[in-house]
Chains A and B, each alone.
Chain A
Amino acid sequence: MKMRFVELAVGVFVLLGVAALFYLAVQVSNITDYRDGDTYEVTAYFSNVGGLKVRAPVNISGVRVGRVADIRYDPEAFEAKVTLAIRSEHDYLPADTQASIHTAGLLGEQYVALEPGGDYDTLQDGDRILFTQSAVVLENLIGRFMTNMGDD
């Protein structure tokens, strides 16, 4: 009888612990983002990636289609090489798609926005996105604004 109660209590305890872990997984963390399934990778060269981080979202029209897989400096191109992992179902992107680094809000996290072009060929695994637009560096903007003010 007593043993039965103990077993029941331990069972509830373990279930509660697992439920708490499950809660942390689903409600608290971004584990749902990991269901990317099959992806293909394209590269893009930026002269400045700003504060872009690995695993930042890749969006088209604000819809998430992939994530940033890798960021490194290419010593031959003298530019930052960003590898984008895009979900395989989005295999319709034209080859002249443009990639730009945007900021969510004024000071939020940065993401890569894709702007589809008009080419009939589509981007394949390992392709390079030719048209890119670097991150906007706020200090540069302010600096430019200040010098313009001086000219007037």
Chain B
Amino acid sequence: MIDAIASVGRFSLDALAVLGRASMFLLRIFAALDAVVRRFGLTVWQVYSVGVRSVLIVVVAGLFVGMVLAYQGYITLVDFGAAEALGGVVALSLVRELGPVVTALLFAGRAGSALTAELGLMKTTEQLSAMEMMAVNPYRRVFAPRFVAGFLSMPLLAAMFSAVGVMGGYIVGVGLLGVDSGAYFSQMQAVTDWNEDVMSGVIKSIVFGFVVSWIAVFQGMDATPTSEGISRATTQTVVVSSLAVLGLDFILTGLMFGGN
């Protein structure tokens, strides 16, 4: 009985300690941000490995999500004789929700896990300690560029996802199902607002990019330096950042669209 209570206590203390370490880690990254500007080449490299190499999966996923949305939306709308509203349905669901959220989930799986595994291995093979021995600050040299690269790539990837999704919806809605092409876009423009819909989606994707990069880089830094530790940290990155994205999405949606 007392053991059970003690284990609850240990669990809470551990959770608190992780939170504290993660916050300190973030602060150290912020302190090292000037290095990102000074040695921009490092960040460009990371944008390549985190962002550019995620483009394919994001674009293909966006295309298919848009096409499926158009199919399903059409089936529902055509019963009400409102098939012309398809463009609005597709664009709103993509821009507001699916673009940022699905991109963030893909990003966590594709880029976040890779970041964690890379950093975990660097830690295991004592590359980070070696850097410190050579008076190279790993925060400036390794962590900050990776964090900034993930943070910058997410909004761009989410925008691509939404744009490609809209085109996918066009292919199915107009090409296959015979919705009028002009109605598709005019309905879309009538219901989609730049400030309220597109910008809130962009804000969401920036927040998600921040959180996913933070979790991924932190998990890599915090990994137990064994092969098992790396695998656990990689899993943790995907699980924790996916849950964080979904939970944050609920909160952000409530803040942005719950008002009226």
Contact residues of A with B, CB < 8 Å? 3, 6-7, 9-10, 12-14, 16-21, 23-25, 27-32, 34, 55, 109
B192 & A28 in contact (Cβ 8 Å cutoff):
yes
* Total contacting residues, chain B, CB less than 8 A: 30
In the complex the two chains form, is B47's CB within 8 Å of A13's CB?
A: yes
Contact B198 A20 (CB under 8 A): no
Which chain B residues numbered 180 to 218 have a C-beta less than 8 Å away from chain A? 185, 188-190, 192-194, 197-198, 202
- A13 to B149: give the CA distance in the assembly, Å: 12
Measured CB to CB, the nearest residue on chain A to B53 is A9
- Neighbour of B197 across the interface among A6, A19, A29, CB < 8 A: A29
**C-alpha gap A20/B100 in the complex (Å):** 13
The verdict on B230 contacting chain A, using a C-beta distance below 8 Å, is: no
**Residues of chain A with a CB closer than 8 A to B202's CB:** 21
Write the chain B residue with the least CB distance to A13. B52
- A10 and B48: CB pair below 8 A? yes
Q: Closest approach, in angstroms, between the C-beta of A87 and any C-beta of chain B?
A: 18
Contacts of A55 in B (CB 8 A): 193
Distance to closest chain A CB from B150 (angstroms): 13
A17 and B156 in contact, given A3-B41, A28-B166, A28-B192 (Cβ under 8 angstroms): yes
B-chain residues with CB within 8 Å of residue A34 when the two chains form the complex: 194
Nearest CB in chain B: distance from A102 CB, A: 15
Q: Is the CB of B48 within 8 A of A9?
A: yes
Give the contact stretch, choosing among B113-121, B130-138, B157-165. B157-165
- B22 part of interface (Cβ distance < 8 Å): no
Partner of B159, one of A6, A17, A30, A109: A17
